[in-house]
Amino acid sequence: MNISLTGRHVELTDAIKAHMTTSIETLNKYNMDIISVNVVATAQTKKGKDFMSVEFAIHLSHKNSIIIKQSDRDLYAAIDLAIERAQKAMRRIHDRATDHQKVGLNEAKSAANNGINLNEAKEALEDEIVPVELELYKPREVEDVLQDLKESGKMFEIFIDNEDKTRVLYKRNDGKFGLY
């Protein structure tokens, strides 16, 4: 793992560098294959107040990079808060990688078909298929459909007439019936 420590408008003393490196070393417990960590510490003044800002850029192998920016009045506090956030992000990535099992398609098929003979299942399904002609496809007279529509609470009825045309008989708002 390559570690790069940079200070902008602030001098990085040996104590600050040691604190940063020991904080970065705590990220190794997630076994995420860290390529490099770039740390930039900046001293800034906004609205007459001085504060320190720390930016961590953690580059992981075969994963997205993690960028964490943290500001505080104290540099050590900013480093500690940024490391806590980095640990949380690393823990999430680690948990996602270890909790979700990646099962291949062939393994899933074999587990689903375990103990099932596909030929017997196919033959069993063939014996159970019974073709049924639906009443929707039988030709009907318009008067018969009108009588059924009046007796039921339906708003429309779809049917095939004697000329093999699909028709729709429906109730209109004025109480009359319409036919498409």
Check pLDDT > 80 for residue 132.
Answer: no
Mean pLDDT in residue range 27-46:
90
Q: Which pLDDT band holds residue 96 (cuts at 50, 70, 90)?
A: confident
Question: What are the residues whose beta carbons fall under 8 Å from the beta carbon of 87, sequence distance 6 or more?
Answer: 26, 27, 30
Q: What is the pLDDT of residue 133?
A: 58
pLDDT tens for 69-95 read 999 999 999 999 999 999 999 999 888
Beta strand residue intervals within 11-155, DSSP E: 34-46, 49-60, 66-72
What pLDDT is stored for residue 126 in this prediction?
A: 65
Half-sphere exposure of 145 (CA within 13 A, CB side): 25
Extract long-range pairs of 111-119: CB within 8 Å, 24+ residues apart: none
Distances (CA, A) of 86 to 59, 66, 123, 145: 12, 8, 58, 71
Q: Which domains does the chain have, with CATH numbers?
A: 2-99 (3.30.160.100), 135-179 (3.30.505.50)
pTM given for the model: 0.54
pLDDT for the residue numbered 127: 59
Percent of the chain with pLDDT over 70: 83
* Rounded distance between C-alpha atoms, residue 141 and residue 139, angstroms: 7
What is the rounded distance in angstroms from the CA atom of residue 107 to the CA atom of residue 113?
Answer: 10
Does position 118 have pLDDT exceeding 70, yes or no? no
- Mean pLDDT computed over 138-149: 85
pLDDT band at 46 (very low <50, low <70, confident <90, very high): confident
C-alpha gyration radius of the chain: 36
